[in-house]
Structure 1
C-alpha cells in the first residue's frame, strides 16, 4: 500500500497536508496491470487519472504508418508520473492509449472523487488542480521544444 509520504512526494500532491492526503487516499482505488496489458485506449471514455506507484507504461498515439495497432510510442512514464488527467479536465475521450511495459501498480482517482474533494476541501482541491495545471504546462513546453527541434516542423505546437 502506498503511503501518504509517497503521494506527497509526487508532483500532483505536492503541498497537500497529511490529513488532507489521508482523506484523498481513501478516495483512490489501487489497480494492478500485467506486462503488455492495455490500461486505457485512445478514443474511449475515461473518468479517472492514474498515479504510477510501481512499474513503467508507454503512451501510444494512433498512427497509420505504425505496425502496432495501438499506434506510435510518444512517451514512457514511470513511478510518480500521472496519466489520464486530461479527461478529468476537459471531459473528452482518451487522447492516447497506455500499455504496461512491466507489471504496474497504480492508484486511480475518478471524477466523482475529485468532485467530492471539491465539495469537502476546496483549498486542497484547488492545490491539486494547480498541480495538474503545472504538469500540463510542463508537457506543453516539452512538446514546444520537440516541435522546434523536429525537421519539417514550421512552427510551435502551441500558441503562447
Structure 2
C-alpha cells in the first residue's frame, strides 16, 4: 500500500494534502455513509481500535493488513486502492473528500478497460497489437480530460439554469 506512515503534525490544520490511507478510508466512509461502528462490525476489529486508527487527532498508525481489511469490507477494489496510493504518494492538492469521489470515478472508468482495448484487435480489421503504443496513452489521457471538462461544464450550466433565483 505505501505511504501508510505519512503523518501530519497534530497541531497543524491542513485542508489540502498530504494524505494517508486512513484519510482515504475516512473519505470513502463519509461518502458511503458508514460509521466507525459499522466499519468495526464489518471487519471484526474493536470499535476502539477503529477509532484510534481513523480519528482525525492523535491518530495511531494503521497496518497494511488493517487498511486492506477495512477497504475490502467497504467494497473498495484493488484498482481503487492502487489509485489512492498514487494520489497519496504524489501529495496532490485535493482534499480527502475530493480524493475519494475522484478515485471512485476513475476506478469505475478504468475497470475492464484493458479487456475492451484488447477486444479492439478483433473488432477493427487490420488492427494489430503492434499498433498499440504506450505514447497513445497521453493522447487518450488528454481526450478523457477534455471530455470530462466539457461534460461537467455542461452539467454545471444546466444546474445553474434550474435554480430559480427569484425565490431568494
- Asked if Structure 1 and Structure 2 have the same fold, meaning a TM-score greater than 0.5 normalized by the shorter chain, the answer is no
Query: When you count strand as a share of all residues, which structure comes out higher?
Result: 1
In the superposition, the TM-score normalised over structure 1's length comes to 0.26
In the superposition, the TM-score normalised over structure 2's length comes to 0.25
Query: When you count helix as a share of all residues, which structure comes out higher?
Result: 2
